[in-house]
Chains A and B, each alone.
Chain A
Amino acid sequence: MDVWEPRPLPNVTPESERYWEAASNDRLLLSKCPDCDLVIHYPRARCPDCFTETEWTEASGDGRIYSYSVAERMEGWPEADLPLVVAYVELAEGPRMMTNLIGCDPDDISVGDSVSAVFISTEEDNIGIPVFRPD
């Protein structure tokens, strides 16, 4: 997978532009609450627990598979990248994040396996897409 397109690009907002830009530089950012220490994904400007304004924190990129499902076919998806593995990865920092697992045979993965973030570039300079690869 060299480039993300023709897969859908995110809608970038003032609230999320740093997240996507960081991903274009191979970094995974999370929101963190300076008051209650909650680590938050997807990113939000205010903590959804206490409404304090959040700060950015960089994730290690390490996680484990919380769950996954496999689609053999997917309309609008490049043939070469099927089957498509959709997963929740539980990040080392806590949040469970929706993503794709790449570079793996779906028959070889299991819930609990450790995975690491990799970043796919897009045709937009300031948007990268975080996905995960089994270790």
Chain B
Amino acid sequence: MSESVYIAGAFEHPTREAPNKSTMQLHADVAAGALEDAGVPKEAVDGYFTAGVPEMEHSLTPLMAADYLGLDVAYADSTDYGGSSYISHVGHAASAIRDGKCDVALITLAGRPRSRGQATGSGVRKLRTVQDSYERIYGTTNVTMYGMAARRHMEEYGTTSEQLAEIRAAASHHAQYNEHAMYRDPVSVEDVVESPVVADPLHLLDCCVISDGGGALLVISEDARSELDRECVEVLGHGEAPKHHDAGRIDITTTGAVESGERAFTEAGLGPEHVDYASIYDSFTITVLEAIEDLGFCKKGYGGTFVADGALRADGELPFNTDGGGLCSNHPGNRGGMTKVIEAVRQLRGETSPEVQVDADIALAHGTGGSIATRHGAATVILGTEGIS
């Protein structure tokens, strides 16, 4: 049996709009927050993980960030799968710890798209990658790409706008109990389908918020755990999968969650039936729908009927995103993976609002970073209350 690895600290920046702070300052804020949450001194950090500091043109991310944060680490990793990066980082930190490369791994995310007026979902962005020349030149944006995925899912499986809307409605039901959530007013299925169409068939309320902020996690070894007087959660399994355009054979109704979920469940020795709470990356409602099917929470194509029955609500079959998720609460840096892990940790430590607290021993956090309709990094972690393994 391999060494147990723990998440000892989790911190979500309370801000949703930070016009007077720098991005690196937010990294420092959340790093300090996670260390304080864990009760671990800064000098104990010997591993560092981050991705995609968006305000830097060059991408020497871990080096620049380690310099700014004053981190002298033995191990660093900057795997960048977009928004799901930080879920990957939990798994990579666990591997590095089990390899003896480090004992106390800090993961940080920060970004200020709201203050920078950067609605990444909606405008033509500068062509950067080889693929952009075949995709972005057509005015393809994140919302139109996810719109295409939603339409194809509707076409193949009969999914409806109302079923997608219930995902937002459930998230908003949870967000009303989160004092930091950007949108706290509950919305109905009707509210969602009657909101303006932004990329047919997706409506404005099918899309996540644009917010400033960040978050951090502290992943530690058994040795480091033994020195702490802090309720921790165990990292039970991790899996990831880049899913791509596949030379033109892409199927936009299916995500890399098929593989990442399978890998994470196998590592944990668990299955979807064991999951008490799930944080599912919700860049758009369709992102959630495809992920819960692909993770095995329902049969492929039946996500619509599954969610329409109220499964995602705190008192439902698969309580999800009890903080309100990216749809209602927070999507710092346009990257939603970090907050997914943080809310899963809160659930396992019993730290959420009582109205949405689940009796959870096993939690899953899943991310879909990049675009569901071209290429994305799927990453899944399975966490448990301490001693559950």
Q: Does A39 count as interface, using CB distance less than 8 angstroms? A: yes
Contact, CB under 8 Å: A75 / B248:
no
A97 at the binding interface (Cβ < 8 Å):
yes
By a CB distance below 8 angstroms, the chain A residues around B199 are 69-71
User: Which residues in chain A, 1-57, are within 8 Å of chain B measured between CB atoms?
Assistant: 7-13, 16, 38-42, 44, 48-49
Residue of A16, A48, A71 most packed against chain B (CB within 10 A): A71
* B133 contact set on A, CB distance < 8 A: 10-12, 16, 42
| Complex partner residue of B252 from A88, A97, A129, A131, CB under 8 angstroms | A88
Q: A10-B133, A88-B148 are in contact. Are A95 and B249 (CB under 8 A)?
A: yes
Q: B176 interface residue, CB < 8 Å from A?
A: no
- Given A49-B247, A67-B151, A71-B144, A42 and B138 touching (CB < 8 A)? no
Give the residues in chain A near B149, CB-CB below 8 Å. 67
Q: State which of B148, B152, B247 has its C-beta within 8 Å of the C-beta of A38.
A: B247
B76-129 contacts to A (CB < 8 Å): 122-124, 127
Do B249 and A71 have beta carbons less than 8 Å apart? no
Known A38-B247, A95-B249, A98-B374; judge A10-B137 contact (CB<8 A): yes
**Also in contact, A69 and B145, with CB within 8 A (given A9-B137, A96-B248):** yes
Tell whether B140 is near chain A: CB-to-CB under 8 Å.
yes
Which residues of B are found within 8 Å of A91, using beta-carbon distances? Answer: 248
Provide the bound-state CA to CA distance between A97 and B145, in Å: 13
Q: How far is the CB of B173 from chain A (nearest CB, A)?
A: 28
Q: B residues within 8 Å of A by Cβ? A: 122-124, 127, 130-141, 143-145, 147-152, 155, 197-202, 245-250, 252, 373-374
7 A-B pairs closest in CB distance: A95-B248, A69-B147, A10-B133, A67-B152, A75-B123, A67-B148, A42-B134
Known: A67-B148, A98-B374; 9 extra A-B contacts, CB below 8 A, are A8-B136, A48-B247, A69-B147, A74-B141, A86-B139, A87-B148, A94-B248, A98-B134, A131-B138
Q: A residues touching B (Cβ–Cβ < 8 Å)?
A: 7-13, 16, 38-42, 44, 48-49, 66-72, 74-77, 84, 86-88, 91, 94-100, 106, 111-112, 129, 131
